[in-house]
Amino acid sequence: QKEVEQNSGPLSVPEGAIASLNCTYSDRGSQSFFWYRQYSGKSPELIMSIYSNGDKEDGRFTAQLNKASQYVSLLIRDSQPSDSATYLCAVKRGSWGKLQFGAGTQVVVTP
Amino acid sequence: DGGITQSPKYLFRKEGQNVTLSCEQNLNHDAMYWYRQDPGQGLRLIYYSQIVNDFQKGDIAEGYSVSREKKESFPLTVTSAQKNPTAFYLCASSDRDRLVNEQFFGPGTRLTVL
């Protein structure tokens, strides 16, 4: 079992709709969780971090964390073509810094 | 402007050569990291450093070496012992001792072995 799992996609989303991305992790002691966006050929860009159960909203993005079920999700509302990218889920390991990344979910927003 | 710079953007290496990838940050972050990304895969940790003059192996350190002589610099050497070095190399930095410990990435170096 991979430590951090994501559906590879592609996830096809009509423009203006909600994109829903899921991520599960195996280490029950994980404390912090991150979503990165990566455009093709570019480096990852941090878009959300969350470490408490529940929802965290930032603009069109909402991260949801459920530690009991060991999953974290990302919702993108009012999806735009510029949201077309690969979204990486990352989970903090241990007492500091080290992150475990999932393989990413490719999102394609169609006009 | 605060940020992380990596150079070169593209690097070509002949088999048997060592090459060094540069990473510099002016964010005053204590911790720095090197990751490798292969097509269709997530990032894998090569080395990391919490403070100057200290660094630790990550998950795939074989064939790589690092140094941390200055807070702002964390160069990575890809040695000839690395059997499959063609990949996208990413440097990141973060504050220490924070619960969330967000990592920020440089633009990356794309290494190709000829």
Is residue A105 within 8 A of residue A11, CB to CB? The reply is: yes
Decide if pLDDT at A35 tops 90: yes
Q: Give burial (CB, 10 Å; 0-12/13-18/19+) of B97.
A: exposed
Determine contact: A29 vs chain B, CB below 8 A: no
Give the separation between CA A28 and CA A22, rounded to whole angstroms. 17
CA neighbor of B45 nearest in space, from B56, B31, B65, B59 = B59
Is residue B31 within 8 A of residue B49, CB to CB? The reply is: yes
Is residue A87 within 8 A of residue A74, CB to CB? The reply is: yes
Nearest CA in chain B to A104: B42
pLDDT for res B39? 86
DSSP class of A102? -
Decide if pLDDT at A93 tops 90: no
Q: Give burial (CB, 10 Å; 0-12/13-18/19+) of B73.
A: middle
- How many C-beta atoms surround the C-beta of residue B107 within 10 A? 14
Phi-psi region for residue A29, left (φ > 0), alpha (ψ -120 to 50) or beta? alpha
Give the separation between CA A99 and CA A82, rounded to whole angstroms. 26
CB pairs under 8 A between A and B: 62
Tens digits of per-residue pLDDT, B57-96?
999 999 999 999 999 999 999 998 888 999 999 999 998 7
Which residue of B40, B50, B106 is in closest CB contact with A103? Answer: B40
Is residue B44 within 8 A of residue A2, CB to CB? The reply is: no
Decide if pLDDT at B98 tops 70: no
Nearest CA in chain B to A34: B102
Write a three-state SS string for B16-65: CCCEEEEEEECCCCCEEEEEEECCCCCEEEEEEECCCCCCEECCCCCCEE
Which residue of B42, B48, B101 is in closest CB contact with A32? Answer: B101
Give the separation between CA B101 and CA A97, rounded to whole angstroms. 6
Tens digits of per-residue pLDDT, B1-55?
569 999 999 999 888 899 999 999 999 999 999 999 998 788 999 999 999 999 9
DSSP annotation string for B65-112: EE--SBTTB--EEE-TT-S---EEEEEEEE-SS-SS---EE---EEEE
